[in-house]
Amino acid sequence: MAGVDPNTHVELEGVSKRFGGVLALNGISLKIERGSIHALVGENGAGKSTLGKIVSGALQPDDGRLLVRGEPVTFRSPREALASGIAAIAQELSIVPQLSVAENVFLGAEPRRAGWVTRRALRKRYDDLAASAGFALPAERSAGRLRTAEQQQVEILRALSRDTDLIVMDEPSAALGGPDVERLHEIIRSLARSGKTILLVTHFLREVLQLADRVTILRDGQLVRTTAASQETEDSLIQGMLGRPLGAAFPARPQVAAEAPVALSVRDVHAPGVLGVSFDLRAGEILGVAGLIGAGRTELARAIFGADPRTAGTVELADAGELGGGPGASLRRGLAMLPESRKEQGLVFGRSVIENVSLSSLRGVSRGGVVNRRAERAAAGRVLEGWALKGDTDAPVASLSGGNQQKVLFARMLMCSPSVLIADEPTRGVDVGAKRAIYDLLVSLAGRGVGVLLISSEIEELLGLAHRVLVMRAGRVVTELGQEEMSESAILAAAFAEREVAA
Partner 1 sequence: MTGSPETAAPREPAMRRPELPDWASGRLRSAGIVIPFVVLFIVLTISSSSFATKVNLLNILDQNAATLIIAAAGTLVLVAGGIDLSVGAVYALAGVVSAELAQHMAPAPAILIGVLVGFVVGIANGIVATYFRISALIATLAMSFVIAGIGSLITHGNLVVLFTHPGFGNLTHTEFLTVKTSIWIMLAAILVLGLFLARTTVGRYMYAAGGNAEAARLAGVNVNRVRVVSFMLSGAAAALAGVIDASRVLSAQAGNGESLTFTVLAGIVVGGTSILGGEGAVWRTVVGVLFIALIGNGYDLLGLNPLYEQITLGVIMLLAVGIDAWARQRST
Nearer to partner 1, 180 or 424 (CB): 424
Span 306-365, contacts to partner 1 by CB under 8 A: 307, 326-328, 330-332, 337, 339, 344-351, 355, 359-360, 362-363
Determine the Cα angle at 329 with ends 396 and 315, to 5°. 120
- What is the total count of residues that contact partner 1 (CB under 8 A)? 47
Site track for partner 1 across 432-461, x = CB under 8 A: ------------------------------
Tell me how many helices (H) and strands (E) the chain has.
17, 24
Binding mask 373-402 toward partner 1 (x if CB under 8 A, else -) reads x------------------x--xx-xx---
With contact defined as beta carbons under 8 Å apart, do 37 and 212 qualify? yes
> 469 and 456 in contact (C-beta within 8 Å)?
no
Contact code string over 258-297 relative to partner 1, x by CB under 8 A: ----------------------------------------
CB atoms within 10 A of CB 111: 14
Q: Determine the straight-line distance between the first and last CA of the chain, rounded to whole angstroms.
A: 58
How far is the C-alpha of 176 from the C-alpha of 366, rounded, in Å?
A: 49
Nearer to partner 1, 326 or 447 (CB): 326
Neighbours of 45 (CB within 10 A): 25
What is the arrangement of strands in the sheet containing 321-322, beginning at the earlier edge strand?
274-282, 262-271, 312-317, 321-322
- Residue 216 is a binding residue for partner 1 (CB under 8 A): no
CB of 72 to partner 1, least distance (A): 16
Q: Site mask, partner 1, residues 56-95, x = CB under 8 A?
A: -------x--------------------------------
Nearest distance, CB of residue 172 and partner 1, angstroms: 27
For residue 498, what are the CA distances in angstroms to 68, 78, 207, 297, 462? Answer: 42, 36, 19, 17, 22
Which amino acid is it at 270? H
For partner 1, which residue of 412, 435, 468, 473 counts as binding (CB under 8 A)? 412
At 354 the three-state DSSP class reads helix
In terms of CB distance, is 120 or 367 closer to partner 1? 367
Binding residues (CB under 8 A) for partner 1: these are 2, 13-14, 16, 18, 20, 23, 26-27, 29, 63, 222-223, 305, 307, 326-328, 330-332, 337, 339, 344-351, 355, 359-360, 362-363, 366, 369-371, 373, 392, 395-396, 398-399, 412
